[in-house]
Structure 1
Amino acid sequence: MPESYRPPLRKDDKSEQSHSQTTQSNISVMKATVQDVLDRKGGKLISVRPQDGLQVAVEALRDNRIGALVVTDANGALQGILSERDIVRKLADAPGRTLGHNVEDIMTSKVELCKPDELLVSVLRRMTEGRFRHMPVADDSGLLGIVTIGDVVSHRLNELEHEALQLKQLIVG
């Protein structure tokens, strides 16, 4: 028998496997944070002053196609939040006289904040339990942005689509 010929051996069936994808890496759920949402949407923060007229706030909501504004003082410190719901409540209380009020007359002064490193699932739970849809994000340096319940849900849907794609690739190979 020529020396170059060797019959197949059992160890020949064991091919080297790539470890670029593992079951764990493909099915692990990412621990998404508020910062992940801010990174995707950008940190643009639209604000008004407490002394601004409601007409200014309504125009800012319309022009920026958003549902809430943070209310800050001249130094940028958070004073409150003004949402579409706040405006609708005032419309019901003072029909025809709403736009003459200042922002400070109808804003929500007690504002729930979240931190950039907070888990999205925690923020979603707080928003759901508190029955509000907008939450300003702040750290020791001040306001960083705002997240909405829509942002959180959209981020989670994107994660689920990515996870489904990874599982398909794991199955198909």
Structure 2
Amino acid sequence: MQIADVLRHKRARDAAEVFTIVPSETVATLLATLAEHNVGALVAVDGDDVVGIASERDVVRRLAADGAAVLEQPVEQIMTSTVLSCASGDAVDGIAETMTQRHIRHMPVIDDGRLTGLVSIGDVVSSRMRQLEDDRGQLEQYING
């Protein structure tokens, strides 16, 4: 199974839109956008370039360190700027392993230099569960003739 399969499943559920933010926007704007779209992270972009990712976790950690003043800081002050990404053709199992080992909850999908999707660890686990269910069904069918 490939990341493209995960994105296809998300599109079928109308959940594949990638929400972005400009790094100069405030953390307050980031939080409002996260809440508006009910997502856990936004990809920070400069034009067509992915320059970071900002998640609820980033906000909480900075809030603990800086207090409420963080709300007026630009997103670029709290975002993760070293972004691990994947491509549509990458194997889900490999991406799952990377996300687990590196404690990454969201990974942008970049194809030909363009942001084409975002996968979460939940998306990856869900795809693996679907695959296991399919395998189980095939085994039952084989055993039952």
TM-score (norm 2): 0.93
Count of residues paired in the alignment = 141
The amino acid of 2:78's aligned partner reads I
Please say if 1:138 is aligned against 2:107.
no
Inter-partner Cα distance in structure 2 for 1:118 and 1:46: 22
Inter-partner Cα distance in structure 2 for 1:98 and 1:35: 36
1:16 match: none
2:9 match: 40
> Which SS does the other structure have where 1:55 is aligned?
helix
Inter-partner Cα distance in structure 2 for 1:76 and 1:56: 20
> Which SS does the other structure have where 1:122 is aligned?
helix
Percent identity between matched residues is: 40
Please say if 1:62 is aligned against 2:31.
no
Inter-partner Cα distance in structure 2 for 1:171 and 1:78: 49
Inter-partner Cα distance in structure 2 for 1:141 and 1:107: 20
Equivalent residue runs for 1:151-170 within 5 Å: 151-170=123-142
> Which SS does the other structure have where 1:44 is aligned?
coil
Shift in Å, 1:76 = 2.1
Shift in Å, 1:129 = 1.4
Dislocated runs of 4+, deviation >6 Å: none
Per-residue displacement from partner, 1:87-145 (whole Å, max 9, x unpaired)? 01111111121211111111111000101100011101111111111100001141001
> Which SS does the other structure have where 1:72 is aligned?
strand
The amino acid of 1:64's aligned partner reads H
Query: 5+ residue gaps in structure 2?
Result: none
When Rg is computed on C-alpha atoms for both structures, the one with the higher figure is 1
TM-score (norm 1): 0.78
Match of 1:90 among 35, 59, 62: 62
Structure (1/2) with the larger helix percentage: 2
The alignment's C-alpha RMSD in Å is 1.1
> Which SS does the other structure have where 1:94 is aligned?
helix
1:121 match: 93
